[in-house]
Amino acid sequence: MRFYDREREIRVLKRILKDFRIAIVGRRRVGKTRLVEHVFKDTVTFFVPAEKSEKEIIASWNEEYPSLNLPRVESFREFFSFVFTYLKDKVVFIDEIQNFLKVNKSFLYDLQRLIDKHRPRLVVTGSLISVMKKMIQDEKQPLYGRFDYIIKLRELDFKTVYQICKDFNISFEDSIKLYSIFGGIPKYYETIEKLESFELKSFVKDMFVFYPRPLYEEVRVILKEEFGGEYKTFFSILSAIARGRNKQGEIASFLGRKEHHITKYLNLLKQEFEVIERVTPVVGGKRGVYKISSNIFEFWFDNVWRYNYFIEQGNEEMLSKIIDRKLDLYVSRKFEDLILTLFKNNVFKFNYSRVGKQWGKIKGKPKGENVYEIDIVALNEDTKEILFGECKWQANVNAKRIVKELVEKSQFVQWFNNERKESFAVFAKSFKKRLKSFEGRPVYCFDLKDLERVFKLGKRKV
């Protein structure tokens, strides 16, 4: 697969001319190694496997680069002392540097001294977010302050995923579905390129359900490695959030614990592991809810891990039927997230200062009828403009009916109610009936063709 995106990271890396030390942090499969080798053509890559001994690893590096006459030594200290001295014309690339902690933890102190002495052109990558943050950003650790640049490599955005899918002749609708499941992890789209033919549901089930189901195990291993010995507690919390039990009290009840007992774990998932985020209403809300920040992790917990007993029993067909039944419902939730992200990235060029979801209580209503939720609220505090949006992963939507419901719910949003300028937007697969205005207020309707046109032509003003 050809190289996509990463323009911002490439600009940063190409500005560096002479000696440099760079750390690139990002989850497995996100494209760290590909980025380094794309930018720096004169790299010597030393991958650090956690399962081998120091002596074995050095021997494998010698076998990989016979022409470089690397030293046949038994310690990392001697090896990199040679490399930094005699390969100054190369970019030394240490891939998965956090694995030194499992092979020879004390070498990091040697590496600190070697960096200070030789000032090599050095790039390191690591895929365990919490471990890498501690290794290179904790002032008590030996590598603290040794890197000129620390780059956090995120998943590709939807615009890039759409371009990849377009190059593979995959429809815009299937692009949204794929992004909802696999997020912006390039490796999984590279898998599609290798297929003779592509059908979305078959591909998803081959990846997660039917033997050898490579991503069923891969996601579990990635998360277990990140979370360490307490992974079962973290898995239970993420399972609760994926099932919609996303308030702290609901999560605690799911685990059978008191709320204050899970505060530590929620903070770790949010701040150290960067797996969840806390979302609050745009207007008048302090008590937030938690959501899983990675699409593939959310899909895995909600649709695969939740039913893993079927896989353990060898009943793949039952899980296949569950995914068939639930897939559209799952994608509908992620469609809301996608549209919200497009607003945040100013794709529609709406002049807002804040944007997000909105929910709250309705005073005077009985329990069970006293809450409302709006998919998108975008507002401008200077001009007192506010837009209310609804996302429907459905075809032949009646926009008038949706906007009428939006107008009713908008009354519960207490924000300059007598002064604000309101507008409404509906996003759907397709419309049975569109609308341009409602009771004198602008209405914007976007179906999948409109959204695809936005990406083809650039930003569209709302």
- Measure the CA–CA gap between 225 and 128, rounded to whole angstroms: 8
Q: Which of 37, 145, 45 is nearest to 92 (CA)?
A: 45
The upper half-sphere exposure of residue 263, i.e. CA atoms within 13 Å in the direction of its Cβ, equals 4
Structure confidence at residue 350 (pLDDT): 75
Q: How many CB atoms lie within 10 A of CB 141?
A: 16
**Interatomic CA distance for residues 388 and 379, integer angstroms:** 9
SS3 sequence of 160-205: HHHHHHHHCCCCHHHHHHHHHHHCCCHHHHHHHHCCCCCCHHHHHH
Question: DSSP letter at 88?
Answer: T
Yes or no: domain 7-152 corresponds to CATH 3.40.50.300: yes
Distance CA(296)–CA(124), nearest Å, equals 26
**Residue 260 phi, psi dihedral angles, 5° rounding:** -70, -15
Predicted confidence pLDDT, tens digits, the chain (462 residues): 888 999 999 988 888 757 789 999 999 999 999 999 999 988 999 999 999 999 999 999 999 999 999 999 999 999 999 999 999 999 999 999 999 999 999 999 999 999 999 999 999 999 999 999 999 999 999 999 999 999 999 999 999 999 999 999 999 999 999 999 999 999 999 999 999 899 999 999 999 999 999 999 999 999 999 999 999 999 999 999 999 999 999 999 999 999 999 999 999 999 999 999 999 999 987 789 999 999 999 999 999 999 999 999 999 999 999 999 999 999 999 999 999 998 888 887 777 889 999 999 888 788 878 899 999 999 999 999 999 999 999 999 999 999 999 999 999 999 999 899 999 999 999 999 999 999 999 999 999 999 999 887 654 444
Question: Which residues are within 8 A (CB) of 288 and not within 5 positions of it... i.e. 6 or more apart?
Answer: 278, 279, 280, 281
Cβ-based neighbour number of residue 331 at 10 Å? 19
Q: Where are the domains of the chain?
A: 7-152, 163-336, 346-457
pLDDT score of 349: 72
Architecture of the domain delimited by 163-336:
Orthogonal Bundle (1.10)
Q: How far apart are CA 61 and CA 203, in angstroms?
A: 36
Closest CA to 403 of 429, 434, 430, 369: 434
Region for residue 106 given its phi and psi (left: phi exceeds 0; alpha: psi -120 to 50; beta: otherwise) = alpha
Q: C-alpha dihedral over 136, 220, 45, 77, to 10 degrees? A: 50
Q: What 3-state class would DSSP assign to 10?
A: helix
Distances (CA, A) of 64 to 44, 81, 204, 460: 10, 18, 35, 51
CB atoms within 10 A of CB 256: 8
pLDDT of residue 104: 97
**How would you class 166 by CB atoms within 10 Å of its CB: exposed for 0-12, middle for 13-18, buried for 19 or more?**
middle
Helix and strand numbers, DSSP H then E, in the chain: 20, 15
